[in-house]
Amino acid sequence: MFTEEQKAIQDMAYDFAMSEMAPHASKWDAERIFPTDVLRELAALGFAGVYVGEEHGGSGLSRLEAALVFEALSAGCTSTAAYLTIHNMASWMIDSFGNDSQRAKYLPPLMRMDMMASYCLTEPDSGSDAAAMRSRAVREGDHYVLNGGKAFISGAGQSDLYVVMVRTGDDGAGGVSCFLIEKDTPGLSFGANERKMGWNNQPTAQVIFEDCCVPVENLLGNEGEGFKFAMKGLDGGRLNIAACSLGTAQRAFDKALAYAGEREQFGSKISDFQAIQFKLADMATDLQAARLMLYDAARALDANDPDRTKRSAMAKRFVTDTGFNVANEALQIHGGYGYLQDYEVERMVRDLRVHQILEGTNEIMRVIIARHLLNA
């Protein structure tokens, strides 16, 4: 199914995850530590711009290879791998839609993660209905003046660059533009770090614009193209977050399988009980189905298949639902111990829950799928 080079890339990512991420993930979660040093080590391996072009300092890999990388990294720490996917998506948008000056200015530090990036689409009053955003930019001479705010932004306050969708024109998707906004831009501020169920080692906060002055040259593409850019970014972003679900769920399954072979009740290992055997069999089957769907959707995106958006939505819906369910079953197999932080599976369950919400809720994935089916 994969070339030797692709296997080597995934093995390198997995080895790093097990040696440099997994031993620290529980502490990062408990103490809300954002591991910038580890992220820069990942950048040194080429993982800050997995599918950014080599001519701009990226690794120039395919979306399938990106899925393999993020699947492997998430086995070490879901939240850290997930932030890295967001950084990759934001960097790819600059690579794909930016001009030569923007690429030259931003991509080299982004590829080293000397500069870290966040993606800003969701607003407090426009989550699933993203095109209803109210944040607005008005041009005044050589600047745009932005007012409004974004919600649930991963990396807010820590990231150095924000890829932001705001309204410059009429209502609807066609009135949205995309801007590159640096952290120290006058008028840009951040809300308090949100207290979350999971993803605790990366900050999440509101991004607030109060007469925020952004130079005209920081407009990505042309006015009115922002929503199109955002949706193209999400086709890949949905696969990335699905890959993180798959890698984490596989790790939870491996822990449950090992535990079932060690834990004894009623004079036997619990793996001898058919109830546990069937549960493990279903978990393994579901993981394999999710893996195949993810890889198929990634290949479709690489091939620019006409059904790529539908297949990305299908994969995101199925893989993130499966990932959460498998991790939850892994916790159940651990019994009371699974509920304890010492056994790590509870953290995986907490981290995976949000994957069914972000990058478009799984209900919105169904809307996208149905729309493609009915309008075919």
Compute φ and ψ for 269, nearest 5 degrees.
-65, 140
Count H helices, E strands: the chain? 11, 10
Count of other CB atoms within 10 angstroms of residue 114: 12
Sign of dihedral through CA atoms 163, 167, 173, 175? negative
Tokens representing 50? 């997995």
Helices 362-374, 308-334: inter-axial angle, 10-degree rounding = 150
Is-contact 66 243, C-beta < 8 A? yes
Q: What residues act catalytically? A: 359
| 34 Cβ neighbours under 8 A, 6+ residues apart | 28, 158, 201, 202, 203
Q: How far is residue 100's CA from residue 97's CA, in Å, rounded to a whole number?
A: 10
Tokens representing 104? 């030259």
The H or E element containing residue 165 is strand 161-167
